[in-house]
Amino acid sequence: MPTNMRGTPNSPAHVAVPTSGPIDLAPVQAYRTTLGNVNIAPAPGYTIEPMHDSYGRRINYMRISLTDACNLRCVYCMPENMKFRPRHELMSDEELLYLVRVGASLGVNKIRLTGGEPTIRPGVVELVRQIAVIPGVDDLAMTTNGILLDELAGPLAEAGLTRVNISLDTLDADKFHQITRWGHIEDVWRGIDAAEAAGLRPIKLNSVVTRNFNDGDDMIEMARLTVDRDWEVRFIEMMPFGEVSDFQQTNVVSFSEMRHTIEAVFGPLEEASYDFVDPSRPFRIAGAKGTLGFISSVTEPFCQGCGRVRLTADGKLRLCLLREDEVDLLTPLRSGASFEEMRVLMREGAFHKPWGHSLSSGVFAENRAMNQIGG
């Protein structure tokens, strides 16, 4: 049996999934849909064949950007006058579902919906419902700014969403408005409450740390939330992309600085159990109910456990968040490629996933802003 970079055995190379019986092909017929003048044939029943990259990492996690558009304009993510792609350049629901099915046939069992802001995509609840029933998909999560969760958390949970990560960089209402340019923190709090009530647990909060903005008391107050709540608060090193890379590079706060700031107030952090797959390294304030996570993509990358690929809203398979390498899937799909041909494209693309990034050598991805990739 092949082993991955951590020396642990990979899943068996061929997991037979019956093509009849337990797999209901009825929803598949719904994919026989006309897109302009292109007809997408229904995805067949399939045998799941896990894909690996050339380093032996199993690729089983796909992050899908549902849209590049957003109802906020966070300063570290995109410029205020960001131009979004026209609708026809983005994957339709049918195209997106088809590509998820291709991924699932190659062992993708974890999906995270992101953006831009995923909750502003029209029909997002129905889309979630259809992704959730694709054979092989057993974990369906979302990263959201939480602004619309007050009304959507319940329907999304009912449709099959299992968890949400909600982005929140500070508990200070004025600073929240400043960093998001447009946001009101009360909307996020209502969203968090609705997500908890809907059972979208455990609640994880993502906090991007910006030098001289929220790297002091704001971090402390975010961390304090975990003392009485079983939440995970994740502090993220700011990553450089596209047009706002100068701002990002100047203002990155390293994992070791963040840890030092928090330990100065709460004492030494305890290490919590870690699977070496999640990009967030978990710690706990002594006696706290929840945990703290640190995503140190810039200063201490976690590439050995990375089984992620990303599907951009315009249908490109992005092989590493911080590199420009992409495989165009939407054009061949629209040109009539068969299910098997799409599988080959995805499998071969994933095989060429780069090992890691080269930020330390000053090389960063300039071809897209964060909102066009999805984080």
Q: Where along the sequence are the contacts to ligand SAM (CB under 6 A)?
A: 70, 76-77, 114-115, 117, 143-145, 167, 206, 208, 236, 238-239, 241, 248, 370-371, 374-375
- CA 222 to chain CA mean position, Å: 21
Q: Identify which of residues 250 and 331 has a Cβ nearer to ligand SAM in the complex.
A: 250
Structure tokens at 344: 């080959």
Query: CB 74 → ligand SF4: shortest distance, Å?
Result: 3
Residues that bind ligand SF4 (CB under 6 A): 70, 72-74, 77-78, 115-117, 145, 167, 370-371
The residue sitting closest to ligand SAM, measured at its beta carbon, is: 375
Of the pair 291, 371, the CB lying nearest ligand SF4 is at 371
Closer CB to ligand SF4, 130 or 206, in the complex = 206
Unique residue bearing structure tokens 């041909």: 341
What does the angle CA 41 – CA 45 – CA 50 come to, to the nearest 5 degrees?
110
Q: Whole-number minimum distance, CB 234 to ligand SF4, in Å?
A: 14
User: What stretches of 79-216 show up as alpha helix (H) in DSSP?
Assistant: 93-105, 124-132, 149-159, 173-180, 185-197
76 vs 213, beta carbon nearer ligand SAM: 76
Structure-derived torsion over alpha carbons of residues 120, 204, 164, 299, reported in degrees to the nearest 10: 70
Considering the complex, state which of residue 343 and residue 368 has its C-beta at the smaller distance from ligand SAM. 368
In the block, residue with structure tokens 């971090």 = 219
Q: How far is the CB of 78 from ligand SF4 (least distance, A)?
A: 5
- 3-class DSSP assignment, residue 124: helix
Residue 68 contact among ligand SAM, ligand SF4, none, beta carbon within 5 to 8 Å by kind: none
Instruction: State the Cα–Cα distance between residues 114 and 117, nearest whole angstrom.
Output: 6
Helix intervals (H) in 165-295? 173-180, 185-197, 217-228, 245-251, 255-266
Give the shortest CB-168-to-ligand SF4 separation in angstroms. 10
Question: Which option in ligand SAM, ligand SF4, none does residue 236 bind, with CB closer than 5 to 8 A by kind?
Answer: ligand SAM
Q: SS3 helix, strand, coil % of the chain, rounded to 5?
A: 35, 20, 50
CA-only gyration radius of the chain, Å: 20
Nearest 5°: phi and psi at 318? -95, 125
Residue 141 or 333 having the CB closest to ligand SAM:
141
Cα–Cα distance for residue pair 184/237, rounded to 1 Å: 23
**Cα dist. 221→170, 174, 216 in Å?**
8, 15, 9
Q: Name which of 135 and 242 has its Cβ closer to ligand SAM.
A: 242
205 binds, among ligand SF4, ligand SAM, none (CB under 5 to 8 A by kind): none
Tell me which of ligand SF4, ligand SAM, none is bound by residue 73, counting a contact when its beta carbon lies within the kind-specific cut-off of 5 to 8 angstroms: ligand SF4
CB of 242 to ligand SAM, least distance (A): 9
> How near is the Cβ of 206 to ligand SF4 at its closest, in Å?
9
Binding at 248: pick from ligand SF4, ligand SAM, none (beta carbon under 5-8 Å per type): ligand SAM
Question: What is the identity of the amino acid at 326?
Answer: E
Cα distance between residue 234 and residue 357, in whole Å = 21
Distance, CA of 248 to CA of 176 (rounded, Å): 18
354 DSSP β-pair partners: none
Shortest CB 69 distance to ligand SF4, Å: 9
- Measured in degrees and rounded to the nearest 5, phi and psi for residue 94 equal -65, -40
Answer with the entry of ligand SAM, ligand SF4, none that 337 interacts with (C-beta below 5 to 8 A by kind): none
Q: CB under 5 to 8 A by kind: which of ligand SF4, ligand SAM, none does 374 bind?
A: ligand SAM
Q: Which is nearer to ligand SF4, 102 or 188 (CB)?
A: 188
Which entry of ligand SAM, ligand SF4, none binds 239, CB below 5 to 8 A by partner kind?
Answer: ligand SAM
Angle among Cα 24, 26, 30 to the nearest 5 degrees reads 135
